[in-house]
């Protein structure tokens, strides 16, 4: 079975068929999904947990876990009330990760200084709750500006926790991948790995060790080729996994078992606890 390490299951675009979408994932061989709790606004960061609780325990649906975090462009909302809410959520057993958090200098939004402050505050909360983090990092066009700032923050505020995390929807180069592994992070690939222009990303993936990778959909966004632009869903996970297997020179079964093992190890979960 595959694990989709990053899907926005609470998204409005699943309002009409969320259960059917989850059943399709199970039928496609996706046994576990990490539902990302950032909401549309930061206050909705508990919605992923509610989706988990609604569906966990039902047959024919993947085992669901949740995260909670304040997205980079929502960090201007990160007041004491919201940070207390995050802290409470990270104390829930299903909420295994803090994220997605990080730095986004690509889109216009929260000031870079505000993003960095918001990130550091959340790192402190995640460290106290002993939750690994899910990082979103995107620089200005081809620049590594956000990555450079991110590594400065992680070296100062995260490395010593030993908790590690996931570089979600990885889009950096080899240097950023190498530094991520060195910090105890897993590098997670989304559907953009399958896009024709993503040759540099595929070259990075091909060089990574099997014990350093994860796969994800980032659904409802980033549908793998040939469905690019359509609504994505966890059932489409298989195509990204196939692409990664090809690049790494292993079978699809080996990618499934390696990424599953990596996921359970990072989050200290037992793989035999299923639905």
* Binding span for Zn ion by CB under 5 A among 138-146, 174-182, 216-224, 235-243: 216-224
**From CA 31, how far away is CA 187, in angstroms rounded?**
20
Query: Which C-beta is closer to Zn ion: that of 38 or that of 248?
Result: 38
CB-nearest residue to Zn ion? 218
Q: Scan residues 54-113 and list those touching Zn ion (CB under 5 A).
A: none
**CB of 32 vs Zn ion, minimal distance in Å:** 17
**CB of 8 vs Zn ion, minimal distance in Å:** 6
Query: Which C-beta is closer to Zn ion: that of 126 or that of 248?
Result: 126
Query: Which C-beta is closer to Zn ion: that of 116 or that of 168?
Result: 168
How far is Cα of residue 17 from the mean position of the Cα atoms in its chain?
22
Query: Which C-beta is closer to Zn ion: that of 149 or that of 218?
Result: 218
Q: Residue 56 gets which letter from DSSP?
A: T
* Binding span for Zn ion by CB under 5 A among 88-96, 137-145, 178-186, 212-220: 212-220
Q: Which two tokens stand for residue 175?
A: 């240097």
Q: Count of residues binding Zn ion (CB under 5 A)?
A: 1
Q: What share of the chain is helix, strand, coil (3-state, %, to 5)?
A: 45, 15, 35
Q: Which two tokens stand for residue 192?
A: 């953009």
**CB of 263 vs Zn ion, minimal distance in Å:** 16
Task: For residue 185, give the 3-state DSSP assignment.
Answer: strand
Query: Which C-beta is closer to Zn ion: that of 207 or that of 230?
Result: 230
**CB of 218 vs Zn ion, minimal distance in Å:** 5
**CB of 36 vs Zn ion, minimal distance in Å:** 5
Cα 108–110–113 angle (5° rounding)? 120
The edge-to-edge listing of strands for the beta sheet with 2-7 is: 2-7, 30-35, 63-68, 95-104, 133-138, 165-167, 185-189, 213-215
Binding residues (CB under 5 A) for Zn ion: these are 218
């Amino acid at each position: 079975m595959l694990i989709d390490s990053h899907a926005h299951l609470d998204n409005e675009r699943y309002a009409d068929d969320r259960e059917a979408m989850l059943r399709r994932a199970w039928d496609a061989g996706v046994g576990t999904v990490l539902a990302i709790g950032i909401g549309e606004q930061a206050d909705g960061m508990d919605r992923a947990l509610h989706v988990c609780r609604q569906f966990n325990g039902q047959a024919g649906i993947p085992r669901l876990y949740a995260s909670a975090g304040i997205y980079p462009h929502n960090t201007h909302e990160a007041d004491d009330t919201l940070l207390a809410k995050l802290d409470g959520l990270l104390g829930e057993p299903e909420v295994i990760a803090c994220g997605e958090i990080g730095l986004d200098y690509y889109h216009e939004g929260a000031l870079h200084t505000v993003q960095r402050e918001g990130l550091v505050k959340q790192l402190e909360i995640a460290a106290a709750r002993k939750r690994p983090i899910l990082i979103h990092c995107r620089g200005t066009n081809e620049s590594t500006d956000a990555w450079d700032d991110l590594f400065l923050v992680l070296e100062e505020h995260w490395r010593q926790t030993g908790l590690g995390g996931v570089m979600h929807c990885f889009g950096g180069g080899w240097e950023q991948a190498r530094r991520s592994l060195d910090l105890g992070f897993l590098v997670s690939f989304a559907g953009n790995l399958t896009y024709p222009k993503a040759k540099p990303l595929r070259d990075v993936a091909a060089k990574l060790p099997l014990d350093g990778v994860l796969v994800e959909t980032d659904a409802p966004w980033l549908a793998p080729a040939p469905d690019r632009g359509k609504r994505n869903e966890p059932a489409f996970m298989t195509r990204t996994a196939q692409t990664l297997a090809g690049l790494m020179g292993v079978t699809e079964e080996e990618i499934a078992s390696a990424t599953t093992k990596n996921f359970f190890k990072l989050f200290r979960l037992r793989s035999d606890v299923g639905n």
